[in-house]
A and B are shown apart, each in its own frame.
Chain A
Amino acid sequence: MLRVDGITAGYGPVTILRDLSFKAEAGQVTCIMGRNGVGKSTLMRAIIGLVPVQSGQITLGKVALHALPPHQVPVQGVAYVPQGRRLFGPLTVAENIEIGLLARKKGPQRRDYVLDLFPRLRERLDQVASTLSGGEQQMLAIARALCLEPEVMLLDEPSEGLQPSMITLIHETILRLRESGIAIILVEQRVDSVLRVADHVAFMANGRVETVVPRSDLAPDSMLFRDYLGV
């Protein structure tokens, strides 16, 4: 289980996250919702180690992630699919996959497992990543992260800019990963998507997670969506 306990984090003198706490359980999808600029991506970056945590703790099992040098966090089993994908554009699909395998020293077996999830990538191994279609790029971003064989997976708006069939494919993938016991933290803005995949929804405002609600307590017209997203 990944626990975030009272963290404060931001950029230079600007504090974005204030005393923020929440947790993500293995085999469950925890969705993070909140308005643009509330700090959802900052929270993801704090967990993966790209944004330093000024106070508070982030722990995975017994390991204090916030105390590790950033490049050690993925080694503990935290994989990150950043907003906007951030592929290694000039590198090939195969090379992007290869990078994913490095942190936890995974081999051909893991590579095959991941490519079986996304057969379209297998057909394009030698293609340069920046020339992939948007959907294929998102598949590669997820595949690259899955190469770690992670215990926790952070996905920051993976459906941004994709057509409905592609979004469905990504949801199916997320639900499969959930079955395999991974703790999934998903930043997602679409209410219908959240209702399809979430076990819990964490609503962010004012630099904190203000409410966590189980999926069963939510409906498409819930007041919470209106309050926290302004829809």
Chain B
Amino acid sequence: MSFGPFLLLAVLEGTVMAAVLALTAVGLSLVFGVMRVVNVAHGEFYMLGAVLAWFVTYYLPFPPLLAWMAALIIAPVLVAAVAALTDVLVLKRLKYNPEATIMATIGLLYMLQQAALTVYGPDARPVVAPFEWRIQLPWFGYSGYKLFVVVAAILVLMAVWWVMTRTKAGLIMRATQVDRDTAQTFGINVNRVYAGTFAFGGALAAVAAVLIVPIQQAHYLMGHDPLLLSFIVVIIGGLGSIRGTLVAAVIIGLSDGIISMFFSPTLAKIIATLLVALVLVFRPQGLFGAKA
């Protein structure tokens, strides 16, 4: 394949990557922004979403499209429930202390991983794509499902944006983010906002997983990469800034896709990590974060 088409293919792969990354990173960023909790188990919510999607599509006697759509609803709802339970049973009792919640979510990471290993097993298993069509470009054919993933991720992100900026729930979350005590003096039930935000973040990771799992297979260790990349994205974009997170997801996703194809995935991670180091040195608040 000559350079031009190869670059196009790399850009396409990078765009898919960026779209899914944006979903996981936005969840992480939202949770940090509103609750000041660094959720180390965020990647495991993603893994859990993928594994649940496998169970749903495997055991429901539906045709692939219906089964996948069922997974798209069931997996995020179940993950949101696990997240909300984590908030009420663990994070709330730690009073959202930043250091304590990091330790607790590290513990949760291993618990979810081991639970998946026990119940689901060590194998990577594919989920049948909801539909099969290839788009035939002059130089190569490309998966129509992958393009669908990009469109779907953009739609979900627009919905998140709309919820945060245009709805009462979003207003309440933003007010709580700014000043939890004052929010309380205006009748806002901060405990409920926190449980809801943590559940929302988990659900976003699960949606990303259900979208990706027909491409990448479900595996009990699959949470590592998205966690690392989401942290990279959130730090570059500025902790708690949704706009920054989106821009950084596009930068990191695209460059990761392109560098992986032209050189190697390892080099892509090295460069991304280097970028984080540079951002931390020269602009610690992130590209879009407010100065502390």
Chain A contacts to B: CB under 8 angstroms: 48-50, 69-75, 80, 82, 86, 88-91, 95, 98-100, 102-104, 144, 148
Known contacts A50-B181, A86-B179, A88-B179; A74/B186 CB under 8 A: yes
B157: which A residues are within 8 A, CB to CB? none
Chain B contacts to A: CB under 8 angstroms: 168, 171-172, 174-175, 178-179, 181-190, 290
* Chain A residue at minimal CB-CB distance from B193: A71
Using a Cβ cutoff of 8 Å, how many contacts connect chains A and B?
A: 62
Residue among A71, A95, A102, A148 with most chain B CB within 10 A: A71
Q: Are A89 and B188 in contact (CB under 8 A)?
A: no
* Chain A residue at minimal CB-CB distance from B189: A71
A134 to B101, CA, bound (A): 37
Besides A50-B184, A91-B178, A99-B172, 15 more A-B contacts (Cβ < 8 Å) are A49-B184, A70-B184, A75-B187, A80-B185, A86-B179, A86-B181, A86-B182, A88-B179, A90-B174, A90-B290, A99-B183, A99-B188, A100-B186, A102-B168, A102-B187
* Chain B residue at minimal CB-CB distance from A144: B186
Please tell me which one of the listed residues A71, A72, A102, A144 contacts residue B190 in the complex, with CB atoms under 8 A apart: A71
Q: Are A50 and B175 in contact (CB under 8 A)?
A: no
A86 to B181, CA, bound (A): 9
CB distance from B165 to the nearest CB of A (A): 10
A89: which B residues are within 8 A, CB to CB? 178
B179: which A residues are within 8 A, CB to CB? 86, 88
CB distance from B116 to the nearest CB of A (A): 37
A91 to B178, CA, bound (A): 9
CB distance from A145 to the nearest CB of B (A): 9
A72: which B residues are within 8 A, CB to CB? 187
CB distance from A146 to the nearest CB of B (A): 12
